[in-house]
Amino acid sequence: MSKLLIASNNPGKIREYRSLLQGYTFELVTPEQLNISLKVDETGNSYAENAIIKANAYAQASGYPTLADDSGLEVDLLNGLPGIYSARFSPNKNADDADRRKRLLEQLKNKPRPWLAHFHCSIAIVHPGKKVHFSEGICNGEIIPEERGFLGFGYDPIFFLPQRGCTMAELTLQEKNQLSHRGLAIQAAKPILDRLNKNLDY
């Protein structure tokens, strides 16, 4: 059985990928399972650049095909912020998801609603010495001032989906996978994942 390394130590992200990639025969492994500990500086100027930086670093360290993503929340009234800085948006060095949500709402509190926003995900899949494959997904919605739901992570509790009448954190994992930025990026990556699943060269 071939392996695919998910280049992340984020439990919520890993849980989503395990769900999204059900049905494939390759074995999903994590850096923790392979005893790989890397500090990868995300110095890119775009989601795609950061995804390839992470994918290359973990592929070289493991020798396995590697999937990495960079994702973020972009708010229209903040000119696209927090964007690629979504995970580093709070000035608090030890900030958690709640701190980042609080910081975002502080930035928006005096601005007119609706606070239109979208999630963006760029995925890079790479095997050492071979071509890099990219895919992307975008999920549109708006930010709301009160947190709702406990099923997501990151900015999910304040990301409202008007077409569903709920936040991302109020969706089950299966529902989220159908419309989330990460789910759509995986759908776009299906051709390369299918080849990897069949142990075909890519």
Question: Active-site residue numbers?
Answer: 70
> Distance between CA atoms of 150 and 172, rounded to whole angstroms?
10
**Phi and psi, residue 92, nearest 5°:** -75, 120
Contact in structure between 46 and 21 (CB atoms under 8 Å): no
Report the DSSP beta bridge partners of residue 3: 27
Contact in structure between 177 and 137 (CB atoms under 8 Å): no
State the alpha helices, DSSP H only, in the chain: 11-20, 47-62, 97-108, 173-179, 181-188, 190-197
Q: Count the Cβ atoms, other than its own, within 10 Å of residue 43.
A: 8
> Distance between CA atoms of 71 and 46, rounded to whole angstroms?
10
